[in-house]
Amino acid sequence: MSSWHTLAHVVADPLPADWRDQLAKRLGQRPRRIGPWAELALYGARLCLDAAQEPALAAGAQMRVASLSGPVSAARTITEQARTGLLMPYAFMQSQPSQILAALSQHLAWQGDARFTLCRDKHAVLQLAQQECGAAGLLIGWVEEDQRTEWWRMVRD
Amino acid sequence: MNEVYLAGRGLASALGPDLGTGLIALSQGGVAPSRFELGGGLAWPLYTIAEHDADWTARARRITQRVAAQSGALAGQRTGPLFVASTSLDIGARENSGDFDGDYQTFAETVAAWLDWCGPVFTVSTACTSGLNALLSARTLIRNGHADHALVLGLELRNRVTVGGFGGMQLLAPTRALPFGEAREGLVLGEAVAALHLSSQTSRWRIAGGANVVNGQDPAGAVPGAVVAMCRQALASSGLEPHDIALIKPQAAGSPVNDATEARALRQVFDPLPALASLKAAIGHTLGAAGAAEVALLTACLETGIWPTFDYAQDASLNAPLADRAPQHVRYVLASILGFGGGHAAIVLEDREA
């Protein structure tokens, strides 16, 4: 069993009132077409990489995202839209956890193994992620919409 | 490191309530999709499981219990990890009830309760690659000795949100799916519940390796470089070279752009291309269940020699013809799924009896 070293750990809870502005400033643009949950993930992931002094996530690193809330506001929106038979494409895409992975890949200019994997037991999520991980380590976050975003950048010792 | 094997499988799809019935239907030319009415005059083709019950939850429970039992996973201890792979989870029930109590893990835990499953429960939701990613995670836990068995369930059951969402993105074909077809116009979605029972005990099909590559350049489509990386990483993790692969089951969903992107990328890795198989004209694109459903059906097809037939012209410009009969002596198979959200996932299977 290998041991792990945490390069950075950030948590935003409660969220700063201007977190969206902070993110836009850091990225140099406002993220487009992603929902509030994905935007919050991006905010936390970017903070974490900055704290680890990594301008970009290393190629070969793995990314995992978990959340009990999921993209709940988008899910409510599309369910309402579905009652009328008309769904807005971006609302549907924002209801999918996969879009958080696409947004992180796009804005971190990174390609690799990223997954949304959830278990009630946070330790089980971390343990599985660490087992799936190679030498370049792991970026893992828990993101609860409108509430908090918490991220770790970890590598094997 | 333990080796990981497919100990059992189950599948309910448009072809039938179980794999045996499904293979018979496939041998007789398959089934046609039905029409799914969204309201407001909108309707799309959908491959549906022919089991009618107005109560979404009761139907889901009945189908899931039956398919899990087919896989053999319920006959032994139910203490290994359970992975529930889905894009829509229980949205079909929620859109009817308007009830948003519970959280994102609630449905997977409900499924575990349906099965009296006592092991750790995971939700995997990475769009169309969910089933294969769940399979890769289950493999990891068995391989590293943290479990000796696991159950992967892919579930995608009828709901207006998914059909409406894909319709809104203009990704659906108006009548039928034509994977790698000359006249392909888009996807046709399908319902499926699939169960893959994995074990460290030796059996015919070994899960040799696999890979998952996300590239968000195109959140709704495949990225050629990511397809190439996926194939190369899946081969490397299996200790294989491209020429070892005798059969590829690509995504091949019938999308005009994605099918061409995928075929072009596959040709970059595999020269010449091995035999190709597509199952989406038989069961539709079953989204988060697709990885598990297509592995279940493909391995059954290879064991029996029953093979999907195609009554449409394939796109010669793709230079990637689908096999019209079961290839012989297939030892290594690469099965891939590409998904919206930039997901590209593949596994490599070894038939130890080939």
Contact A115 B100 (CB under 8 A): no
Asked if B142 is an interface residue toward chain A (Cβ–Cβ < 8 A), one would say no
Considering only CB atoms, B133 lies closest to which of A67, A75, A115, namely A115
CB contact under 8 A, B219 and A106: yes
Show the 3-state SS of chain A. Answer: CCCEEEEEEEEECCCCCCHHHHHHHHHCCCCCCCCHHHHHHHHHHHHHHHHCCCCCCCCCCEEEEECCCCCHHHHHHHHHHHHHCCCCHHHHHHCCCHHHHHHHHHHCCCCEEEEEEECCCHHHHHHHHHHCCCCCCEEEEEEECCCEEEEEEEEEC
A118:B126 CB<8 A: no
Contact between chains at A113 and B217 (C-beta distance less than 8 A): no
pLDDT tens figures, B14-37: 999 999 999 999 999 999 999 998
Helix (H/G/I), strand (E/B), else coil: B189: strand
Q: How far is CA B33 from the centre of its chain?
A: 17
The pLDDT of residue B219 is above 80? no
Per the CB < 8 Å rule, is B122 touching A119? Answer: yes
Q: Which residue of A has its CA nearest to B170?
A: A89
* Cβ-defined contact of B168 to A87 (cutoff 8 Å): yes
Cβ under 8 Å to A: B residues 143-182: 144, 146, 159-161, 164-170
The residues of chain A scoring below 50 in pLDDT are: none
- Which pLDDT value is given to residue B95? 87
Q: Do B165 and A93 touch (CB under 8 A)?
A: yes
Instruction: Report which of A133, A150, A156 is spatially closest to residue A51, judged by C-alpha positions.
Output: A150
Which chain B residues are closer than 8 Å to A97 by Cβ?
A: 125-127
Nearest CA in chain A to B105: A68
- What are the phi and psi torsion angles at B139 (to 5°)? -60, -40
List of chain B residues whose C-beta atoms are within 8 Å of the C-beta of residue A84? 39-40
Among chain A residues, the shortest Cα distance to B126 is held by: A98
Cβ B144–A131 below 8 Å, yes or no? yes
- Predicted local distance difference test score (pLDDT) of residue A86: 65
CB contact under 8 A, B219 and A93: yes
| A75/chain B closest Cα distance in angstroms | 8
Cα B171 vs. chain centroid, distance in angstroms? Answer: 18
Nearest to B122 among A101, A102, A117 (CB): A117
Please, what is the average pLDDT of chain A?
93
B325 has a pLDDT exceeding 60? yes
- Please tell me what DSSP assigns to residue B21: H
CA dist B217 and B261 (Å) reads 14
Nearest Cβ partner for B91 among A69, A79, A93 = A79
pLDDT the model gives residue B217: 87
Task: Kindly state whether B28 is in contact with chain A, defined as any CB-CB distance less than 8 angstroms.
Answer: no
Q: Provide the ipTM.
A: 0.96
At B88, the pLDDT band (50, 70, 90 cuts) reads very high
Q: Give the pLDDT confidence of A122-132 residue by residue, as tens digits.
A: 999 999 999 99
B126 touches chain A (CB under 8 A): yes
A121 contacts in chain B (CB < 8 Å): 120
**By CA distance, what is B42's nearest residue in A?**
A85
Q: How confident is the model at residue B99 (pLDDT cuts 50, 70, 90)?
A: confident
Contact B343 A87 (CB under 8 A): no
Summarize pLDDT for B283-310 with one digit per residue, the tens. 999 999 999 999 999 999 999 999 998 8
CA distance B305 to chain A (A): 34
By residue count, chain B amounts to 354
Distance between alpha carbon A112 and the CA centroid of its chain, in Å?
A: 14
Asked if A87 and B141 come within 8 Å (Cβ–Cβ), the reply is: no
Residues of B in contact with A128 (CB under 8 A): 122, 137, 140-141
Q: Which residues of B touch A95 (CB under 8 A)?
A: 161, 165
Asked whether the beta carbons of A149 and A11 are under 8 A apart, the reply is yes
Residue in A69, A85, A111 closest to B103 by CB: A69
Beta-carbon contacts below 8 Å between A and B: 177
- Edge-to-edge, what's the strand order for the sheet holding B42-47? B34-39, B42-47, B189-190
How is residue B204 written in tokens? 């015919």
Do the bridges between strand B5-12 and strand B192-199 make them parallel or antiparallel, or are there none, so unpaired? Answer: antiparallel
Per-residue model confidence as pLDDT tens digits over B244-286 = 999 999 999 999 999 999 999 999 999 999 999 999 999 999 9
| Angle at the Cα of A98 from the Cα atoms of A95 and A100, rounded to 5 degrees | 80
Helix H or strand E encompassing B276: strand B275-276
CB atoms within 10 A of CB A132: 21
Contact B39 A96 (CB under 8 A): no
B83 Cβ neighbours under 8 A, 6+ residues apart: B122, B124, B134, B135, B137, B138, B150, B151, B152, B153
Residues of A in Cβ contact (< 8 Å) with B98:
79
Least confident of A6-10, B52-56, B137-141: B52-56
Residues of B in contact with A99 (CB under 8 A): 219, 341
Residue B184 has pLDDT above 80, yes or no: yes
Distances (CA, A) of B348 to A21, A49, A61, A104, B198: 45, 33, 22, 27, 14
Q: Is B94 on the interface with A (CB under 8 A)?
A: yes
- Name, in order, each residue with C-beta under 8 angstroms of B247's C-beta and a sequence gap of 6 or more: B274, B275, B276, B277, B302, B323, B327, B330, B332, B333, B334
Provide DSSP, B120-185: -EEEE-BTBTHHHHHHHHHHHHHHTTS-SEEEEEEEE---HHHHHHHHHTT-B-SS---TTBTT--
Q: Does B105 touch chain A (CB under 8 A)?
A: yes
